[in-house]
Each structure stands twice: as C-alpha cells, then as structure tokens.
C-alpha cells in the first residue's frame, strides 16, 4: 500500500511538471499548446541519441533540455507571433490549430526518423530500500529529479523577481506593463521553460519505462487533464492536481488494472468540471 502511494506521489510530481508548463503558457497568452507532449518526446529522443553517441547522462540530459527550450523559443518567435496578434476566442482557436499542426509535424518526423519501438535511458545499480519499499536506481533518480525540479519551480515563482513578474502578467497584464515588465519577453521565457519541463518529464519517464516516439499525444492529454483539474494559470493547482491524479493513477492500476487508468483520470477531470468548473485552484470566473 505504501509503495502504491509513494509511486503515485512520484508519478503525480511528474504529472504536475507536465501540466505546469501548459497551464502557464495558457495563463500568460491564451495559447493551449497541443504540441506540448510532442516537444517532450523530442527531449527524450535527443537524450537517448546523445547517450548512444557516447555522451554522459548529465551532458545528454542537458542537451535534451536545451534542445527543447530552444524549440519552444523558436515556436514562440515564429508561429506564435501570428497568434499573439489576435485576441479572445480567435486567439485560442488559432493556437489550437497551429500547435496541433506542430504536433503532427513533430510526431511525423519522429516516426520517420526513429521507427523502432521504445527509447529507454538505462541507469544501472541495484535496488535500494526506502520506507520498506525496494526501488530501482532509475526510479529513485527520476523521483529525486521530479521533487527537485518542483521545489526549484515553486521557489522561483514565490521568491524571485522574475518569477513574480511571470505571475504578475497572468494576474494583470496592464499592471505588469506599468511596472516595467515586458509581457512578450515573459511569454517567450515561459514557452521555453514549459518545453524544458515537459522534456524533463519525458526524460525521467524513460528512466523507468521505455517511451515510444508516438507518446507525444499521451503526454499532451495528461497535461490537459492536469490543467483542467488544477485550474488554468495556477502553478500550485497544477502540482496539487498532479499529485491527486498520480495517486488515482497508481491506485486504480494496482487494484483494478492498467486498462482502467486513463478512464479514471478522465473521470477525475469530468468530476472536477462538474463540481469546480474553474479547477481546484483556478480563479472563479
């Protein structure tokens, strides 16, 4: 039982990291990035290829994160320019169309270049016992990275000037501009960061179980569910929702079966929409 919960919390932190980028990009600019998961897979691929070419784990992970961060900045500076020029519903709609197109392009390229099955990052070592639970080194490292990244992210948004600037643009863009904050720069920064966080999740997932080149859409759907449950634009909401959904995921797959998990997650999202339409910590409209 403890094992299932621990697993759920670790998975939940990964869900949170996956959702937080999506929710921030939406909160800042009204863009729902449907290429979020595909960008994450690009990160994992870069890591796997770098390691295959002989790079150390650390160097490979850095290359993967930087590659996806750069991809995010590139998208923000090119395709998303057209989106930012629109307002309201047409902005959301165009963002959905464009990012879905980007997802197709990325997925297509990945399937074409890397048709072989799963990509795994193998971390050696014997299982270690924690709280009476035997855990593999890969899982432990993945958990440590997720916890660390989550803590750094929370500290960044709470304590740093740049993090506060990001929150200020979400809460009142005009107020932020009057304080000397450039919303366009904040949006670019977060688009890049969001891609890096998603990539980090794909990389840590591939440390425990192989992921396929077509996993992008699954990551995107997971991120959307986390965002819906946590509330659009809420950092704390994304982590809270992530942990709840992570526990739902592992408990239902342990006691019922893996086939049920996606249904359970969608049910949780549906329940949230019925009971709290703006999400757990979202602003009430």
Partner 1 sequence: MLEVEDLSAGYLGDDVVHDITFSVADKAAVTIIGSNGAGKTTLFRAVCGLLPKTAGRVMLDGVDISGLSAHRIARAGLAYVPSGRHLFPQMTVSENLALGAFPKRPDPETMAVVLELFPRLAERKSQPAGTMSGGEQQMLAVGRALISKPKVLVLDEPTTGLAPKLAADAYAALAILQAQGLTLLIAEQQVPLALSLADYGYVLENGRVQLEGSAEELENDPEVRRAYLGIA
How many residues touch partner 1 (CB under 8 A)? Answer: 18
What is the nearest approach in angstroms of partner 1 to the Cβ of residue 131? 36
Q: Which of 5, 130, 136, 168 binds partner 1 (CB under 8 A)?
A: 168
Which span (14-22, 23-31, 167-175, 193-201) binds partner 1, by CB under 8 A?
167-175
16-35 footprint of partner 1 as x/- string (CB under 8 A): --------------------
Strand residue runs (E) in 88-213:
118-119, 128-130, 133-135, 211-212
Asked whether position 176 contacts partner 1 by CB under 8 A, the answer is yes
Pairing of strands 211-212, 133-135: unpaired
Number of residues in the chain: 285
| Residue choice 147, 155, 179, 266 for contact with partner 1 (CB under 8 A) | 179
The window from 28-36, 123-131, 181-189, 253-261 that contacts partner 1 (CB under 8 A) reads: 181-189
In whole angstroms, the minimum distance from the beta carbon of 184 to partner 1 comes to 9
How far is residue 27's CA from residue 5's CA, in Å, rounded to a whole number?
A: 31
State the nearest-atom distance from the C-beta of 155 to partner 1, in Å: 14
Asked if residues 246 and 6 have their Cβ atoms less than 8 Å apart, the reply is: no
- Counting contacts by CB under 8 A, is residue 91 touching partner 1? no
Q: Which of 165, 238, 269, 280 binds partner 1 (CB under 8 A)?
A: 165
| 278: contact with partner 1 by CB under 8 A | no
Q: Tell me the backbone φ, ψ of residue 114, rounded to 5 degrees.
A: -130, 70
Q: What are the phi and psi torsion angles at 75 (to 5°)?
A: -60, -45
- Give me the least distance between CB of 31 and partner 1, in Å please: 20
Check binding of 10 to partner 1 (CB under 8 A). Answer: no
Task: Among 101, 108, 127, 175, indicate the residue that binds partner 1 (CB under 8 A).
Answer: 175
Q: CB-side exposure of 22: number of CA atoms within 13 Å? A: 37
| Beta carbons of 264 and 271 less than 8 angstroms apart | no
Quick one: which of 2, 56, 90, 182 contacts partner 1 (CB under 8 A)?
A: 182
Window 135 to 164, contacts with partner 1 (CB under 8 A): 161, 164
Q: How many CA atoms lie within 13 A of 244 on its CB side?
A: 22
Contact 184, 266 (CB under 8 A): no
Q: Is 180 in the site for partner 1 (CB under 8 A)?
A: yes
Tell me: does residue 171 bind partner 1 (CB under 8 A).
yes
CA–CA separation, 47 and 39 (whole Å) = 13
The residue from 167, 208, 213, 245 that contacts partner 1 (CB under 8 A) is 167
Q: Does 174 bind partner 1 (CB under 8 A)?
A: yes
> Can you tell me the distance from the alpha carbon of 271 to that of 38, in angstroms, rounded to the nearest whole number?
27
Which residue, chain included where needed, has tokens 């992921």? 211
Contact (Cβ atoms closer than 8 angstroms) between residue 261 and residue 11? no
Spatial contact of 237 and 230, defined as CB atoms under 8 Å apart: yes
Q: State which of residues 1, 131, 178, 275 lies at the interface with partner 1 (CB under 8 A).
A: 178
Residues near partner 1, by CB under 8 A: 161, 164-165, 167-168, 171-172, 174-183, 283
């Amino acid at each position: 039982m403890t094992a299932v919960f621990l697993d759920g919390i670790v998975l939940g932190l990964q869900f949170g990291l996956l959702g937080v980028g999506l929710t921030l990009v939406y909160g800042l600019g009204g863009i729902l990035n449907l290429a979020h998961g595909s960008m994450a897979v690009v990160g994992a691929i870069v890591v796997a290829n770098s390691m295959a070419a002989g790079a150390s784990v650390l160097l490979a992970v850095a290359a993967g994160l930087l590659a996806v961060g750069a991809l995010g900045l590139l998208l923000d500076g090119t395709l998303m320019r057209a989106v930012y020029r629109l307002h309201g519903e047409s902005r959301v709609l165009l963002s959905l169309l464009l990012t879905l197109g980007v997802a197709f392009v990325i997925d297509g390229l990945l399937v074409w270049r890397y048709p072989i099955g799963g990509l795994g990052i193998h971390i050696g070592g014997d299982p270690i016992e924690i709280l009476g639970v035997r855990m593999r080194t890969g899982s432990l490292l993945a958990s440590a990275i997720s916890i660390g990244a989550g803590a750094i992210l929370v500290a960044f948004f709470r304590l740093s000037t740049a993090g506060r600037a990001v929150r200020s643009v979400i809460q009142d863009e005009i107020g932020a501009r009057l304080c000397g904050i450039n919303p366009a720069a904040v949006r670019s920064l977060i688009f890049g960061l969001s891609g890096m966080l998603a990539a980090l999740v794909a990389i840590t997932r591939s440390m425990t179980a192989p992921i396929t080149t077509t996993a992008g859409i699954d990551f995107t759907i997971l991120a959307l569910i986390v965002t819906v449950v946590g509330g659009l634009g809420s950092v704390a909401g994304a982590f809270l929702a992530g942990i709840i959904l992570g526990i739902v995921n592992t408990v239902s797959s342990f006691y019922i079966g893996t086939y049920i998990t996606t249904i359970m997650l969608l049910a949780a999202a549906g329940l949230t929409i019925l009971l709290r339409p703006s999400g757990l910590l979202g602003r009430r409209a």
